[in-house]
Amino acid sequence: MIKINWINELFANRMLWNAVLAWFLAQLIKILLHLIATKKLDLHLILESGGMPSSHSAIICALAVSTGRMLGFDSNAFALVCVMAMIVMYDAMGVRRATGEQGKVLNKLIDMMNISDQLQTTLKEVVGHKPIEVFAGATLGIFVGCVFF
């Protein structure tokens, strides 16, 4: 027989919803910062990566703190999520940021060669994060994990 109450279990998973809340707040902050800086509301930013604060850092840090609070800070699950958090945040500042920098250079080359019409696309330049953006996202995630758990 198929277990039907999985939907109830999904909605009762506080660790999951804390992580989702941290992601949503990070994305909302990006929209608000963009609104303040440009005086334009851009709701498309809710699904964009990169920028201040890092939603990747927020989501993984909220999950780590929630895991520690629910299962214990000495649990294997907490250790696993902490290692994942280190990898995610390192990747956001390293590999993903380098990808964005390469996108900037390639877009300049495309413009200089006047071939942008042939390609009909522009490479995304904001992919990764500066360390302060990762720190802000991590701080937001830790805050959400502590306050909303």
List Cα–Cα distances, 121 to 4, 105, 111, in angstroms: 46, 14, 11
Q: What is the pLDDT of residues 66-78, one digit of tens each?
A: 999 999 999 999 9
Q: What is the pLDDT of residues 24-60, one digit of tens each?
A: 999 999 999 999 999 998 888 888 877 889 999 999 9
Q: What is the pLDDT of residues 108-145, one digit of tens each?
A: 777 777 766 666 666 565 566 788 999 999 999 999 99
Q: What is the pLDDT of residues 2-17, one digit of tens each?
A: 667 888 888 889 999 9
The b/e string for 29-54 (b: 16+ C-beta within 10 A; e otherwise) is bbbeebeeeeeeeeeebeebbbbbbb
pTM of the model: 0.77
For residue 22, how many other CB atoms are within 10 A of its CB?
30
Instruction: Say if residues 66 and 145 touch (Cβ distance below 8 Å).
Output: yes
